[in-house]
Amino acid sequence: MRVVALVPAHNEREHIGSTVRALLAQERVPDRIVVVADNCTDDTPEQAREAAAENPAVVVAVLRDNVHRKSGALNWAWRTYCQDAELLVTLDADTVLPPNAVGDWEREFIEDPGLGGSSSKFTMPSHGGGGGSLLVRLQRAEFARWTMTGLRRGWTSVLAGTGCAIRNSVLHHVAGRDDRSGPWSYESQVEDFELSYRIRGLGYTCRISPSVRAYTDAMTSLRALWGQRMKWQVGTVEDLLNFGCNRLTLVDWWQQFCGLAAAFVRFGWVLMTVSAALLGILHLSAVWLIPTALFIANDARQSLHIPHRDKRDVLMAAVLVPQEIFAWLRAGWFLTAWWQVLRRQQKDRWALQYQAEGG
């Protein structure tokens, strides 16, 4: 298959070199690698060219007038460089692929003509860049749960923009819709979720690759994590309201229901416990330790699926408290996102996330 890799990059001078070098170090090197330096104010293009070392397979393109952010950069590169491709690999500019990735993806698509897209099992490095911090470990645990769930059921509703491969003939079908000027939508804040929905709607399967892993940067502060998750959650809710409830979105609606129910149960539990204490009718019982023990056992079991785990990952799950704090954060962005969507609060989530990350 003719394979083209697209890497949209906005002010990624610190990471783009590693991303390009990892693509060039593949056992099956892409036939073309396109880095799209999108409205950069740093030397991302120069860093990409230096990493390419004048390799003719690498194209570094500079966009100055793109107003559609990542989707605009991807659509422009797809129209310009990918029309003759058979397989498209898209990566964030801070994603590093291990050497087997492109070759394994190619074999997956050759073996399964019904495969429309394959997502990587993305995670964060366990060393360097805060990889050992509590917040990063919690994100690694969360993504490990997402990966295991998708692998177990055999499909996914999101081809992660962090790193995925898509059959290009399917992208041509999606791009033929009247509501867009390329495969990636300008109306969605979570373009990878929207595109995955369109691919599945054409009858193709989207799944998580059993063998392709990708390494990306984590959010290293609570502010950055909140900004990222609010963009994801608000965008997902907006898209689900637009798609409606159907066979393709039923699981996603159920996940939203469970997330909201968990949030209300947590806040309701605190309200009832405090009220009972104030009224003098709160009585502690050893029976309460049973669900706590079950939660700990489940978290510890799931921690065994974290890639490159160490004893601190298992200990973090066993003590319960860090996971519980993370669950409260999740409850917060679930409720806040739904509140803002239902109130029709229009915000530039890309800008808010970028600002939260210190950009």
Task: Quote the radius of gyration of the chain (alpha carbons, Å).
Answer: 21
pLDDT at 129 over 90: no
CB 198 within 8 A of CB 331: no
Burial degree of 244 (CB within 10 A; 0-12, 13-18, 19+): exposed
Domain residue extents for the chain? 3-220, 251-356
Q: Following DSSP, what letter does each residue of 302-316 receive, concatenated?
A: HHTTSTT--HHHHHH
Residue type, 183: P
CA 59 – CA 19 distance, rounded (Å)? 14
pLDDT, tens digit, for every residue of 225-263? 999 999 999 999 999 999 999 999 999 999 999 999 999
- The β-bridge partners of 9 are 37
- State the chain's mean pLDDT as an integer: 93
Nearest 5°: phi and psi at 31?
-65, -25
Give the CATH class of 3-220: alpha beta
Joined tokens for residue 279: 């009224």
At which residue do the structure tokens 């396109």 appear?
34
127 pLDDT tier (thresholds 50, 70, 90): low
Task: List all residues 6 or more positions away from 106 whose beta carbon is below 8 Å from its beta carbon.
Answer: 1, 3, 28, 87, 165
pLDDT, tens digit, for every residue of 173-226? 999 999 999 999 999 999 999 999 999 999 999 999 999 999 999 998 999 999
pLDDT, tens digit, for every residue of 4-54? 999 999 999 999 999 999 999 999 999 999 999 999 999 999 999 999 999
Entry pTM: 0.92
